[in-house]
């Protein structure tokens, strides 16, 4: 039998239903499992704990599929888990809100390493772990059948695949991408999504509710949107009646896509200004120019994928937030986000407190942000709670 035997006393996190087995907890591997194979995980005293996918290359040596010894991990099991994930989205996000949705969110949906995002009639599947890769064919078939989407596109090209010893893979699995490109509707706005080469699976679905909230706060305000990517916050701010929106991003492709997205909607393009620049530098330029704003959005990329990077990340967050707070007029708002798994909500709040102090600015928390409901956080898997944000008001 293929099994992992843990060191004595190292079963505690599994008993709390945390779905990862770290390499340091493993005493012995028996039965010569290959990467992605299902193994029984047992405590040092031999009790069954879980069925898990083995990943010899990774520090996360195994990821749990099931806590039930009677379960068989096969195509039917995966199909049932997918069905459960689809069911969990019903009545959470209405069809008018969006036709783009995360249908499977990895560990939190009991499918470690599996991401499935729907963009209208196109499903994007992203496999990030050895276990997910082992069942690639079954997962692709089941996603195709259960969603009825015309196209399934694979985006298994995230950096974390390297940690699992997996090669980069990307391309069509079923059907074909629509000739005119992939388009979605979210909060009444239309976006083109580059599922083949865009960030993540093409769009930051996790920010859906937060884009809307920022839109609602934008009426009559001069807005600065930093790290604008394909224009999500920009379009919502314009739709919400912003007087002007300056959008900054370092990527020329993202800005081109953002401008194209603006033109897809009935919005006043004259109110939009675009700047290709490094945000760290451009915030200083704006300060030196004496510019000021009523609402600033900071939605940077992940500075700290794990806690090991937290200190360096903290310096980055502090820097941009300090500068942003200084650019705010009295009564102005800062919507500041972190999608770093390695920076907790508590640490993020401390960083912003430090930034305000050093900026010589008094500010209060007037709102909090998290990922949208199609990105559930399993209570036993706090790592799933990666996106956090604060809405600050400058006194």
Give contact residues for ligand SAH (rule: CB under 6 A).
Answer: 199, 204, 207, 211, 227, 229-230, 232-233, 249-251, 254, 278-280, 299, 301
Report the alpha-carbon distance of residue 298 to residue 354 in Å, rounded: 16
**Strand 363-370 relative to strand 388-394, pairing:** antiparallel
Rounded Cα distance, 280 and 93, in Å:
35
Minimum CB distance to ligand SAH, residue 248 (Å): 6
Pair 374, 93: CB distance under 8 Å: yes
Order of strands, sheet of 114-119, starting from the edge strand that comes earlier in the sequence: 100-105, 114-119, 122-127, 151-156, 169-174
Nearer to ligand SAH, 12 or 284 (CB): 284
Q: How far is CA 90 from the centre of its chain?
A: 20
Beta-carbon contacts of residue 285 (< 8 Å; ≥ 6 apart): 277
Q: Which is nearer to ligand SAH, 132 or 297 (CB)?
A: 297
Crossing angle of helices 75-89 and 136-147, rounded to 10°: 40
Query: Which entry of 151, 226, 228, 339 is annotated as an active-site residue?
Result: 339
Q: Report yes or no: 164 and 23 within 8 Å, Cβ to Cβ.
A: no
Minimum CB distance to ligand SAH smaller for 55 or for 338: 338
In the complex with ligand SAH, the residue whose CB is nearer, 251 or 349, is 251
Name the minimum Å distance from CB 105 to ligand SAH: 17
Does the CA dihedral 207-208-213-215 come out positive or negative?
A: positive
Q: How far is the CB of 298 from ligand SAH (least distance, A)?
A: 9
Residue 81, H or E segment = helix 75-89
Which CB atom, from 152 or from 322, has the smaller least distance to ligand SAH? Answer: 322
Contacts of 277 (CB under 8 A, 6+ apart): 248, 249, 250, 285
Minimal distance in Å, beta carbon 372 to ligand SAH?
11
CB 313, min distance to ligand SAH, A: 13
Active site residue 339: yes
Which lies closer to ligand SAH via its Cβ, residue 82 or residue 228?
228
The enclosing H or E element of 349 equals helix 345-359
**H-run or E-run covering 174:** strand 169-174
Shortest Å distance, C-beta 34 to ligand SAH = 36
CA pair distance 108, 113, nearest whole angstrom: 10
What are the catalytic residues?
339
């Amino acid at each position: 039998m293929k099994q992992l035997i843990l060191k004595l006393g190292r079963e505690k996190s599994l008993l709390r239903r945390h779905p990862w087995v770290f390499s340091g907890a493993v005493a012995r591997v028996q039965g010569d499992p290959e990467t992605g194979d299902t193994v029984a995980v047992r405590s040092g005293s031999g009790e069954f704990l879980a069925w898990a996918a083995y990943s010899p290359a990774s520090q996360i040596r195994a990821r749990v599929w099931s806590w039930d010894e009677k379960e068989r991990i096969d195509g039917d099991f995966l199909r049932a888990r997918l069905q459960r994930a689809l069911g969990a989205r019903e009545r959470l996000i209405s069809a008018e809100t969006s036709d783009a949705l995360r249908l499977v969110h990895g560990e939190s949906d009991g499918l470690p390493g599996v991401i499935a995002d729907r963009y209208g009639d196109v499903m994007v599947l992203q496999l990030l772990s050895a276990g997910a890769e082992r069942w690639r064919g079954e997962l692709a078939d089941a996603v195709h059948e259960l969603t009825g989407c015309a196209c399934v596109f694979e985006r298994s090209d995230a950096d974390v695949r390297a940690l699992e010893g997996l090669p980069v893979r990307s391309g069509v699995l079923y059907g074909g991408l629509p000739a005119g490109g992939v388009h979605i509707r979210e909060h009444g706005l239309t976006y083109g999504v580059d599922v083949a080469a865009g960030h993540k699976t093409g769009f930051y679905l996790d920010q859906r509710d937060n884009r809307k909230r920022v839109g609602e706060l934008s009426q009559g305000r001069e807005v600065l949107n930093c790290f604008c990517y394909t224009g999500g916050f920009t379009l919502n701010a314009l739709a919400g009646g912003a007087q002007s929106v300056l959008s900054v991003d370092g990527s020329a492709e993202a800005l081109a896509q953002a401008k194209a997205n603006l033109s897809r909607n009935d919005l006043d393009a004259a109110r939009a200004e675009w700047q290709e620049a490094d945000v760290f530098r451009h915030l200083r330029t704006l300060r030196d120019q004496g510019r000021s704003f009523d609402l600033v959005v900071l939605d940077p990329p992940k500075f700290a994928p794990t806690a090991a990077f937290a200190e360096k990340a903290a310096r980055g967050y502090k820097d941009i937030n300090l500068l942003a707070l200084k650019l705010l007029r009295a009564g102005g708002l800062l919507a500041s986000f972190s999608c770093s798994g390695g920076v907790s909500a508590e640490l993020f709040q401390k960083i912003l407190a430090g930034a305000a102090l050093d900026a010589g600015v008094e500010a209060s928390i007037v709102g909090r942000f998290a990922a949208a409901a199609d990105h559930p956080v399993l209570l036993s898997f706090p790592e799933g709670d990666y996106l956090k944000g604060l809405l600050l008001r400058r006194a």
